[in-house]
Chains A and B, each alone.
Chain A
Amino acid sequence: MDINKILVIDDEEAIIRVLSISLKSDGFDVVTATSGKEGLKVFQKESPGIVLTDIKMPGMDGIEVLKKIKDIDSAAEVIIITGHGDIDNAIEALKYGASDFINKPIRDEVLTIALERAKERFEIKRKLKNYTINLEREVKVATTELRRRSSFLAKLIKSSNDGIVAADKDLKIVMFNPGAEHIFGYSQQDVIERMSLNELLSADIIDLFEEGIHYDKTTGELPWQDIDITSDSGEKNPVRFAGTYLYEKKKVTGSVAFFQDLREIRRLENQLVRSERLAAIGQTIAGMAHGVKNILHGFKGGSYLVDIGIERNDSIKLKKGWDMIQRNVERTSSLVMDLLSYSKERIPEYEKCYPNKIAVDVCELLENIANENHVEIINDFDDSISVVLMDPRTIHRSLMNIMTNAIDACLFDEDTSKNWRITLKTVQENNRHIRFEITDNGAGMRDEVKEKLFTSFFSTKGHRGTGLGLLVTRKMVEEHNGRISVASRLGEGTTFTIRLPYEMVKD
């Protein structure tokens, strides 16, 4: 449709002629018809943007032409030419969608204004139409894209190995993918819209989740951490967990939690640890020869003294020899016990205990030997640590081993001008862990010694060590889900840090 093309319909050819001249001079392309019927034909053929039609014509009148044209193309602007004072007809024409009307005799300026307005309206309508078409097209594209993305997301969630659980703002679970089914043991039907996050997860994980929100308010995201969840069958499954709150206009609308199944990884880790340990036992046997030689030497010496005692009936020699044999029996047994406890798996036995009290016990047991070697033991305990559920034997044994090592580190120190000092520090960490720090200012370690510490049988202590103390300590700490680490500088001292998780005592 061409807005610069005008169809003029009038039964009076003189008027057509005059109008044509005037319109052409205004730059329009003019087509004409002398009756309504002919006008419609020309309209269909030429598709003009504007139609100028007389109202009173024999046969089909202007109103009829208007209706028909609007039926053919409603976008066309139709201007009706009426007789002077023919208001009724003019109003009717407007009712049927005429753009405007002008009175006869036609004045050029009136015609120009009417045409201007028609052009403007046509332009607006054209734009509106384009706009609408465009909008519809964009909505369609967006809808397709949205559908594509949402089905992509649904597929992602469905095929994810990670468990994904989403809940609404009342913690009711609204999404539970196959990964989550695998980890938790519940089926989607059991969970979706039927269970709340509170029922699926234990209270401390929910706490963790809420704590995480405070952790980073800007993103509402909780960083990954390793926890245990309880499955449908009551099994404790290790998972790596992260979560995020969903916000809409700064209001919480729900939450999503992600769970990575760590069962297989843990199983492989355990296998690795076990084979590492067996390898270490192999090396231990070679390395142990030295310790065993010392013990055998003690037995030899003891029997030698006993022999002399018996021969001469010398009860003092007899007693000394017997004591020596007994001491070496003791050394044999501690070596064998160390070996046993290192090679066997042990499940920690959690019971109520006071970690600070155990630390005090260890310090008291070592007080004499420390005093003898001019080593001062300093306690730095965190008073906020109260009664907890932990394995007291793990704490006792680990502290005992590390503290004994610390005393040896002072004893082995070449710088005898130092005031040797060992600090045993306890720290409560985020209501979940207790940290034990044993710091000495003794000999410290070379890097190559530090590297060998936990990896294989190793002792720098001559007849004092079985070479298993740290291996046993690390094993016990890890069986308690804890971590042990060491920092040391040659000549300056060493700090061992043991971090053990605990559970609150429930009444």
Chain B
Amino acid sequence: MGKKVLVVDDDPDVRLFSVTVLEEHGYIPIEATNGEEGMEKIKQEKPDLLILDILMPRESGIKLYRTLRTDTSLEHIPVIVVSGIAKKSFLRSQKALAEFGGEIVPEPEAYLEKPVEPDVLADNIKKIIG
């Protein structure tokens, strides 16, 4: 049985792109359109990997990422961030949050800046969950 990968993105085109890559490489894609829905799916489906957009309405991408990384029952799920913002900016924002009293959370397993080549995405998935 193939591994389950949850794609969380509010942009349907980005989801379709990632889902197609997953299907093409024999994974089972699950979709969520925002952070809240993403959290529900994580609990229901227990995916093996999360492909996450961090820039979504209500900051729900970043919130999802931080909850995931601070919840002992979920922190083992690897995350690939696919985003239009540079990795530097994302890490800086996490550092700033930590300075303001938030928890220090580990970096994602992979950070891919858009536009992402399908092969690059597939390679990263393979590297993380085989």
Residues of B within 8 A of A408 (CB): 57
**Which residues of chain B come closer than 8 Å to A304, judged between CB atoms?**
17, 20-21, 118
Is B116 part of the binding interface, using a Cβ–Cβ cutoff of 8 Å?
yes
| Docked pose: A136 CA to B91 CA in angstroms | 93
A328 near B58: Cβ-Cβ < 8 Å: no
Interface pair A324/B13, CB less than 8 Å apart: yes
Bound together, the chains give a CA A412 to CA B35 distance in angstroms of 12
B123 at the interface (CB under 8 A from A): no
* Contact in complex: A300, B57 (CB < 8 Å): no
B56 neighbours in A (Cβ, 8 Å) = 462
Contacts known (A294-B114, A412-B58, A463-B84); A300 close to B11, Cβ less than 8 A? no
Chain B CB within 8 A of A8 CB = no
Q: Does A320 contact B (CB under 8 A)?
A: yes
Q: B1-21: which residues lie under 8 A (CB-CB) from chain A?
A: 10-11, 13-14, 16-17, 20-21
Check A293–B115 contact: CB distance below 8 A.
yes
The A/B interface has a contact count, at CB < 8 Å, of 73
Is the CB of A296 closer than 8 A to any CB of chain B? yes
The answer, yes or no, to whether B85 is at the interface (CB within 8 Å) is: yes
Q: Does B30 contact A (CB under 8 A)?
A: no
Residue tally, chain A, CB below 8 Å to B: 26
Q: Interface centre among B16, B24, B113, by most A CB within 10 Å?
A: B16
Cβ of B115: which chain A residues have Cβ within 8 Å of it? 293, 296-297, 299-300
Bound complex: CA of A238 vs CA of B19, how far in Å? 60
Q: Which residues in A have their C-beta under 8 angstroms from that of B109?
A: none
With A293-B114, A305-B20, A411-B57 as given contacts, are A298 and B14 in contact (CB-CB < 8 Å)?
yes
Q: Which of B11, B24, B58 contacts A294 (CB 8 A)?
A: B11
Q: What residues of chain A lie closer than 8 Å to B45, measured between beta carbons?
A: none
B117, CB-defined interface residue at 8 Å: yes
Known: A298-B14, A301-B13. A462 touches B55 (CB 8 A): yes
B38 smallest CB distance to A (angstroms): 15
B118 and A297 form a contact (CB under 8 A): no
> Within 8 Å of chain B (Cβ to Cβ): is A327?
yes
Q: Does A290 contact B (CB under 8 A)?
A: yes
Q: Do residues B84 and A300 form an inter-chain contact, with CB atoms below 8 A?
A: no
Q: Contact at B116–A300, with CB atoms within 8 Å?
A: yes
Contacts of A308 in B (CB 8 A): 20, 24
CB pair B84–A297 under 8 Å, yes or no, is yes
The CA of A412 and the CA of B20, in the complex, are separated in Å by: 28
Q: Is the CB of B118 within 8 A of A462?
A: no
Residue A391 at the chain B interface, CB threshold 8 Å: no
* CB neighbours of B10 from chain A (8 A): 462-463
- B85:A290 contact, CB within 8 angstroms: yes
Tell me, in angstroms, the Cα distance from A291 to B115 when the chains sit together: 11
A443 to B84, CA, bound (A): 23
Is A414 interfacial (CB 8 A cutoff)? yes
> How far apart sit A346 and B13, CA to CA, in the bound complex (Å)?
34
> 0/1 per residue, A318-335, Cβ < 8 Å to B?
001000100110000000
CB neighbours (8 Å) of A54 from chain B are none
State the CA gap A402–B84 with chains docked (Å): 25
Q: Mark A296-314, 1 if CB is under 8 A from B, else 0.
A: 1111111011001000000
Q: Mind listing 6 A-B residue pairs with CB under 8 Å?
A: A290-B85, A293-B114, A293-B115, A300-B118, A327-B13, A463-B55
Interface residues of chain A, those whose CB is within 8 Å of chain B, are 290-291, 293-294, 296-302, 304-305, 308, 317, 320, 324, 327-328, 408, 411-414, 462-463
B residues with CB within 8 A of A: 10-11, 13-14, 16-17, 20-21, 24, 53, 55-59, 82, 84-85, 113-118
> Which 10 A/B pairs are nearest by Cβ-Cβ distance?
A301-B17, A297-B114, A296-B115, A462-B55, A297-B115, A293-B114, A293-B84, A300-B115, A304-B118, A290-B84
